[in-house]
Structure 1
Amino acid sequence: MNNPAIDPSSSQRVLHEHLSSVYASRMAGVCGHLCFTFIGGAMGYFYLHLPFVLPFVLLLVCVNLYVLSTPRWHAGVALADGRRWARRHTRQMILIGVATAPVPWFFVSTQNPEVTALMAILIMVGCGLAMQSLWPMTSSLFGYGIPMMGGLITALLWHSDGVNLFLAAVGTAYLLFALRRGVLQNRQLTDALILRFENESLASRLGEQIAATERASVEKTRFLAAASHDLRQPLHAIALFGAALQNALHSHPERQNAERLMRAVNALGSSLDTMLDVSRLDAGVITPDVQLFQVDALLVSLNHVFLARAEQAGLQLRIQASGVWVRSDPQLLQRMLSNLVDNALKYTVRGGVIVRVRKRGERAWVEVRDTGIGIAPGQLERIFEEFYQVGNPERDRARGLGIGLSIVQRLSRLLGHPIEVQSRIDRGTRFRVLLPAAAAPPAGTPSIPLPTVHAQHEQPRGQAPRPRLPALSRRVLLIDDEASIRQAMVELLRAYAFDVLAVADEATAAMALSQAETEERPFELLLCDFRLADGGSGLDAGLRLRWRNGRRLPLLLITGETAPDRLQRVREAGVPVLFKPVDPDKLLDAIDAALKAA
């Protein structure tokens, strides 16, 4: 306990544990000592006919009861009081040892060697067991063991003969061995406790670092969600006004400017959608739909999307068919492979990209190999970090946001498809996705339609706007707290013959619904923004307003939210949702689907 290498706080904690150990065995030790006292007293009184042994037995009983009656240490004792309790325990052990030391003098003699040998053995065994329980406290160990064994050894030396001298030598050797072993055990216990406390401290610091990292990750996600929402709001209004303008200038030369505006809006929207994908994966709102399908269908679709881009860059894109069947989510797998091919083309200046599938036992390997700039060994662990890009310190937007591989890693974990990466500087990089292979289904089994692959940064093609719909006499109630978005949405939907009423809050919407029912011109669709003024929720408002006179009004949610917890809530509500900025065609398709479902 006096090791100078131990800092004060650790020393106090070690002493605290040692006290806990010796006090836990105090009751058993005292009871054992009382048993030894009664056995010795009975032998002295009934066998050796020593009447004066009875007062001594009474004295020992009083000493043991006194020790039991003293305050007992407990775990709530302050660490700083540990040394005071250690001194108290040492004094009690010295008292018991000194009080018991005269016992051997009653039994040791030269006339009765059998009794002398029996008592010597009993004292050594009892003393050894008691000293073993005192290993955590060396002061108590010495304070009890030396008087106890010292009384036996001196009594044997006083009544010296051949047997007694031998027993005295054995007792001395036993005492030295017991004390030496007790000191060594105390050191081992102390070292083990110090190591435990150090590990606990390291684990605590590691836990704090992990918690700090998790808090930073949560704050980053919250910041991205807030920034994404704040960017999406005006962008959503611009997209709606642009679509209305593009539709109004359908037959005018100025239509090209509107198309350029929409291309810029869609490019920015694509970047925001990438951040949305990260939030949706972090929120756990994406559930894999595992199916049995042939990988070649996905490869063909990838070829259609990326071949023109590769040829424009003077690169070769080789996609090798294999006939391999796998079990996975085709939609999520195509997103993984699309991101990998997109990333490979970005970082390849000459040569090309090869995509191939090979079956290896129960697994299928999908490899995307390029002849690009390669990745340094020190950067391999960082390429899956968000916003990290190899060789792009100037943040060239043409190379994207640096989130593509981060999405690949998240999808890999979600699907359980490990990813292996090998790369050499100036030689290229190979990404390998490991999939569970499957046997081909029997002939005639209907095939599952696979998703259409879109390039991650595919620019809008300036297609002609959807032709104006005939008057449908369908009324839509829009709830959005931003006046610019209400105005833009009204102009867009009215251009497609919808009768739209836009309000800013739930109370006004409830009044509008009641008035429409009174006039027998009910609304047929409720269109709500997720985030309303003063912390209001468009989801909650829509769910409260959608039931009118026993009729369930179709509800469509529009949001710029990317916060994982809010995305999870929208998913649990089961309400169809569109993310800002909303493409006009997707908006009209969603409205048509909602009206048909009603």
Structure 2
Amino acid sequence: MNEAAMAWQDRVFGSFAYVLRSRGDDAERGQALVRLVLVPLLCLYVVPKLLGGEDRAETWLKLTVAYLIAYIPVSVLLYRDILQRPGQFHGRRLFGMANDYLGMLLALAMGGAATLPVYAALLWVTLANGLRFGPRYLIGATAAAFGVLGLTSYFNNYWRENPDMVLTLVLTTMIVPAYVLTLITQIQKAYHAAMEANLAKSRFLAQASHDLRQPIHAISLFTSCLRDAGLGPREVQMVDNIDRSLESVSRLFKSLLDVSTLDSGRVTPKIEPFAVQQIVDDVVRQNSQAAERAGGELRVVRSSAWVQSDPSLLTTMLQNVINNAIKYAPGRPVVIGCRRNGQTLAVEVFDRGPGVAAEHQPHLFEEFYQVRERGDRDIEGVGLGLPIVKRLAALLGHTVVLESRPGHGTRVTLAGLPTVEPQFAERERVAQQRPVSAMDGLRVLLVEDDDAVLLATASLLESWGCEVDKSTVIPETFEDCDLLITDYDLGGGVTGKECIEVVRGVQQWNIPVVVMSGHDADRVRDELGDPDIPLLTKPVRPAELRSVVLASALDLRE
């Protein structure tokens, strides 16, 4: 096969694969839109041909013309119904198909040579139903097309007088859909195989990132303990360098875990009203030190707006955008602000970095794509930040837009956040502003199946003044405690949920709990069934753990 033929075949397979991927609500809406355009065009062609014929006074001819004209508003109503009631309604599909084939049957049977071009529409509609709705619909549509050809040959004199033409049309109606059916079957097999491979990749990434998160989590806690061990300036600088390296690796694993979670289809948005400034402040607080190390700063234009979205997913999106701005615009300020647009809000992140050339911009949302020129300095990351942002935006019904001018900077806009009336927020817990001495004497039961993580976490808690009772399994007996900190997956089919139930049962009160996990946070939250339990994703930053523990200690003292 020559290169041109192979390229043509690749385009055909690619087009079919795209159609197969988009089957569902969009497919039914697309078919209705085609009908909305095709029916009036056919009427403009067929009706004058029929009325200009010799038998225009016949009753059947008048009924045919009336039906074809009436089918135009019916097509509009079908399209409107699909917009108002999206979903896969097989009865609605069959109703549309039946009317399509009935209209083409009347046009072909009541006309002669003049209406023969309607056969092109017949073949088109047959193939479109199969490509949009699947092999079963293709078989059914092909059977309906044979029925149209048979009835037309029975009622139309012109067709009976031209059996060779009829045979040609019958063979075409048989061969073309059969070939398309073969292609659909092959593409479906290839598509399912690709999906299985993609899911296997996602499972591997999830497991690998979880297994590697455990030692990184332990190292992070140990370095925090070292910092408080009275080290000299040179040793403290070395600990800081280790921390920065761990942050880079942690961000990489978080990106890999985010991709694997999105690929698995387990991410379900939890929409709620919240103040957008809370999200911005949290992300700025998490990235301010990284910006300072890069020689820049984060500037915030404050907003009082409230929006309706998933705060956790929006935080991930904004985190990735700001992280990119810090990396690619070192030594420059990064500005974060909000802009109202009618009933929606847009969050904008603007940097004064070198910008991105126009030829690279269409590819920035592709996975693993990075703008690299010869001689460029190495930049951490694997090109997953913006692809994750785009996929989360689609999941939430928002949009993400990137604008960049070489030499002037880049602006990324997270738009389409529905605004709502301000709500009364719950009491904010800003633990970083509270005295650490509040944790002195706090009795903590720590359950963690990984020995290194158990030792590191216990050492860190003790350095903050906590009294720690630690165990690698759910303990059968333990001293009274003020706080339970548990890993979620404890091995042997036992989870943190069972640990919480056992400890609270022994203590006979709803003891405060902190859960740590390296797995999918949404899955863990669903299984816990208690949104008030803080969930920390490994590797946990010591400041984050301290903040949650301190908040619990202050609650106990109030």
Coarse TM-score class (shorter-chain normalised): 0.5 to 0.7
Deviation per CA, 1:328-363, whole angstroms, max 9, x where unpaired?
449555654554354345445899877776665555
Change (3 A) 1:586 1:430: closer
- 1:249 partner SS: coil
Instruction: Provide the secondary structure at the position in 2 that maps to 1:400.
Output: coil
- The AA in structure 2 aligned to 1:192 is T
Q: Which residue of structure 1 aligns with residue 449 of structure 2?
A: 481
Secondary structure of residue in 2 paired with 1:434: strand
- 1:235 counterpart = 2:203: no
Select 1:372's aligned residue among 331, 334, 354. Answer: 354
Corresponding position: 1:382 with 2:340: no
2:170 is aligned with 1:189: yes
2:540 pairs, out of 577, 582, 586, with 582
CA contact (8 A) 1:288 1:414 kept: no
* SS in structure 2 of the partner of residue 398 of structure 1: coil
Q: Distance in 1 between matches of 2:555 and 2:289?
A: 39
Q: 1:238, CA displacement in angstroms?
A: 1.6
Percent identical pairs in the alignment equals 27
State whether structure 2 residue 196 is matched by structure 1 residue 207: no
TM-score (norm 2): 0.56
Match 1:343 to one of 315, 324, 331: 324
Q: Mark the runs of 5 or more structure 2 residues left unpaired by the alignment.
A: 1-145
**Any conservation in 1 of the 2:356–2:405 contact (CA below 8 Å)?**
yes
1:561 Cα shift? 2.1
Within-5 A mapping of 1:72-87: none
Q: Which amino acid aligns with 1:235?
A: I
Where do 1:151-230 residues align within 5 Å?
180-230=161-211
Please show how residues 383-532 of structure 1 align to structure 2 within 5 Å: 383-391=364-372, 398-421=379-402, 431-435=412-416, 469-472=439-442, 474=443, 476-506=444-474, 509-510=475-476, 513=477, 516=478, 521-532=479-490
For 1:388 and 1:175, locate their aligned partners in 2 and report how far apart those are by CA, in whole Å. 61
Gaps of 5+ in 1: 1-131, 146-173, 453-462
The code of the aligned residue for 1:410 comes to: R
1:287 and 2:270 are equivalent in the alignment: yes
Q: Distance in 2 between matches of 1:135 and 1:576?
A: 67
Aligned pairs for 1:271-350 within 5 A? 271-278=252-259, 283-284=266-267, 286-291=269-274, 309=291, 327-329=307-309, 331=311, 333=314, 336-337=317-318, 339-344=320-325, 346-347=327-328
Residue-by-residue CA offset, 1:531-589 (whole Å, 9 max, x unaligned)? 33445434444445542274444443222224x78446446464432222223343243
CA drift of 1:418 comes to 1.7
Distance 1:466 1:367, change over 3 A: closer
The structure number with the bigger radius of gyration is 1
Distance 2:247 2:328 in 1: 24
- In 2, distance between residues paired with 1:429 and 1:347? 10
Judged with a 3 Å threshold, the aligned counterparts in structure 2 of structure 1 residues 135 and 412 are, in CA distance, closer, same or farther, namely closer
TM-aligned CA deviation for residue 230 of structure 1: 1.6
Which amino acid is the alignment partner of residue 556 of structure 1?
V
Task: Determine if contact 1:357/1:364 at 8 Å carries over to the other structure.
Answer: yes
Instruction: Choose from 250, 271, 275 the match for 1:269.
Output: 250
Distance in 1 (CA, whole Å) between partners of 2:440 and 2:331 is 52
RMSD after superposition:
5.2
Letter in 1 for 2:174: L
Flag the 1:290–1:412 CA change in 2: closer, same or farther, 3 A. farther
2:228: which partner in 1? 247
Kept in 2, the 8 Å contact 1:328–1:435? The answer is no
Note the alpha carbon deviations across 1:46-89, whole angstroms, 9 max, x for none.
xxxxxxxxxxxxxxxxxxxxxxxxxxxxxxxxxxxxxxxxxxxx
Deviation of 1:592 after TM superposition, in Å, equals 4.4
Per the TM alignment, residue 224 of structure 1 is displaced from its structure 2 partner at its CA by 2.0
Indicate how the Cα distance of structure 1 residues 180 and 368 shifts in structure 2: closer, same or farther if over 3 A, else same: farther
More relative contact order, 1 or 2 (CA 8 Å, 6+ apart) = 1
C-alpha contact (below 8 Å) 1:343/1:404 kept by paired residues: yes
Structure 1 CA distance for aligned equivalents of residues 245 and 353 of structure 2: 31
Local SS of the residue matching 1:578: strand
One-letter code aligned to 1:372? P
User: 2:99 aligns to what?
Assistant: none
C-alpha distance 595-286 of structure 1, shift in aligned 2 (>3 A): farther
Q: Displacement, 1:409?
A: 1.0
What SS does the corresponding residue of 1:248 show, helix, strand or coil? Answer: coil
1:548 maps to amino acid: V
483, 495, 512: which one pairs with 1:537? 495
Aligned-pair CA distance for 1:405: 0.8
CA distance in 1, matches of 2:315, 2:148: 69
8 A contact 2:308–2:418 mirrored in 1: no
Instruction: Say which SS state the counterpart of residue 547 (structure 1) adopts.
Output: helix
